[in-house]
Structure 1
């Protein structure tokens, strides 16, 4: 569902549930943004709307910042998770979705409709978008790192991502359906709505991809850090997460240690003399990308985009603060 469909269906659902009317105007440059005017109980209220496919918990902080700057801010989405709606109401952030749910608390105006769900018939027709399966997420990650690769042939893209050729077309079609790929001309494609695609990738990475990559949890000690520094400069073992952020920013003191490797599990354990520990602060994951990495102090770190994602999916405010520092310094120009 594209952004125009989302806002249209949200307004149409509002009309069904109430006698309220609304008009909207999409931004000419960025179709994530719209101006929406509500005619509610003989009052006319204008809001600046941000349109998304869905809203998840980790995105609330950014929405709160926007609502703080602009009290007439509303988030409009195809789907908003119940826990997120509860938090948005708690923070006084207006929202509406395509299911007819809405919350507005504005001066003397208060509107709350909740509990509506998609009809069973609609739910039965929903199919999985192949761009956000485990395989698709690996390909999307490569495209986020290399936006111009969207112009590659399917065969070339399959080669650089190590994804089966037959899957690539389905993944690109999925990105088109979700509104993240446009035809630049008759033959060339281009990525669009990259910031939202990044956020949706982070959702999929957290829920689908990352859990499938875990090799094991281990006891951490400083000798492991020294072993990585002196023995693994060839990208066999790549530093990610909080430890990578500590090295990049010199701001965060890592409490959890994340490593990515393409070495066999037993070889990794022998090389780093690892002791398994279900509660250990060192977690090792299978590396899911090829050659991209960020080099600092002669150490190979995971791509900055992955470091950012690993920080954002934690519940630690200091990690998220550090993620914002990395985003603003290294990623913002690419995604905004």
Structure 2
């Protein structure tokens, strides 16, 4: 059901603002060729229809406004586009923010899109417009301390543990290995960006959580994860692809991440590559699995950056022998692999 109003043009402010910002970035000789769009938006304000013309040629799409796009979203909308293609209809995404790698997948899958910075892909009959490389305001925010190494660590605690924001600055910092002064600065940045606000009884509340998770995932994979990497290995003792479930990493102070952890959370994904979080000062994990360094080994090992024994991380939805689901989701999403993205969406829906 679509919401009808008295005006000839049915406007969803999110979509109309994205359109206006995108048009403002275009050269005048291109922008004037676009007519003013008409939006027909459903009650949930996330889907509908869009009509506009370019060079007087009428264009109509099935419209989706998903907000901040993740790799998992791109995988989902690929399936949506395939469904509508059987009805000879085309999908158009409008979002404030599309990363280049996600844009590449959308283009490959034939999904037209537009973001607020003017990045766009419109391939409709004889009309072909491709504009890429424009950075969004979100990417500018990402350069702040909030998405630096310290910020990523703090946000992990905030997003993973419901009780984290109830701690004082010193205890927050101790849980994720940063200083209390950094916690104070980063929380102030969160408030300024709309990611944190004061709720009932002056409790701190996360704002724009889905968006914040996607920003965190990108920063985790690009900023923090490379610094945690201890090396690639192969095991001369355990055939991991068939026997990994018989390995109990907690017994030697470690936990599965990535694909094996996803299997433990969903019982769905058969792991091909393996990730393990360990305590850097212990070599028990190496000895137990009889690991040998190997440049392209199937096992990647990372060091913990959070205090796994801190009280704030107790009593959360975490599977034994696996790292918290937020880490698993980030690692799966960062691969860009379709089977991993499908599993990542399952973890997001169930645990995040």
TM-score range, shorter chain: 0.7 to 0.9
- The structure that is strand-richer by fraction is 1
The alignment status of 1:319 with 2:340, answered yes or no, reads yes
Greater alpha carbon shift after TM alignment, 163-172 vs 42-51: 42-51
Aligned counterpart, 1:18: 31
Q: TM-score, normalised by structure 1?
A: 0.74
Greater alpha carbon shift after TM alignment, 62-71 vs 208-217: 62-71
Distance 1:219 1:11 in 2: 52
Aligned counterpart, 1:278: 295
The alignment status of 1:193 with 2:208, answered yes or no, reads yes
Aligned counterpart, 2:3: none
Alignment deviations for residues 115-149 of structure 1 (CA, whole Å, 9 cap, x no partner):
57469xx9xx8782222112211111111212453
Contact 2:238 2:289 (8 Å CA) reproduced: no
Contact 1:147 1:191 (8 Å CA) reproduced: no
Aligned counterpart, 1:222: 238
Contact 1:216 1:283 (8 Å CA) reproduced: yes
Aligned counterpart, 1:134: 149
Give the superposition deviation at 1:285: 0.5
Distance 1:26 1:204, change over 3 A: farther
Instruction: Determine which of 163, 179, 182 is the counterpart of 2:178.
Output: 163
Where do residues 322-333 of structure 1 align in structure 2 (5 Å cutoff)? Answer: 322-328=343-349, 330-331=350-351
Contact 1:181 1:191 (8 Å CA) reproduced: yes
Alignment deviations for residues 271-304 of structure 1 (CA, whole Å, 9 cap, x no partner):
54432222221221101222347665xx432112
Distance 1:267 1:94, change over 3 A: same
Distance 1:12 1:306, change over 3 A: same
Q: Kindly indicate whether structure 1 or structure 2 has the higher relative contact order, using CA contacts under 8 Å at least 6 residues apart.
A: 2
Partner SS, residue 244 of structure 1: helix
Where do residues 69-218 of structure 1 align in structure 2 (5 Å cutoff)? Answer: 71-78=90-97, 80-81=99-100, 84-106=102-124, 110=127, 112-114=129-131, 117=134, 128-150=143-165, 152-184=167-199, 187-218=202-233
Q: TM-score, normalised by structure 2?
A: 0.72
Distance 1:316 1:104, change over 3 A: closer
CA RMSD of aligned residues (A): 3.9
Distance 1:147 1:22, change over 3 A: farther
Contact 1:80 1:97 (8 Å CA) reproduced: no
Distance 2:52 2:282 in 1: 61
Aligned counterpart, 2:9: none
Give the superposition deviation at 1:213: 0.4
Give the superposition deviation at 1:252: 3.0
| Count of aligned pairs between the two proteins | 316
Give the superposition deviation at 1:307: 2.1
Alignment deviations for residues 219-270 of structure 1 (CA, whole Å, 9 cap, x no partner):
22328859952x8447x21122222233344433322222111241545434
Give 5+ residue unaligned stretches, structure 1: none
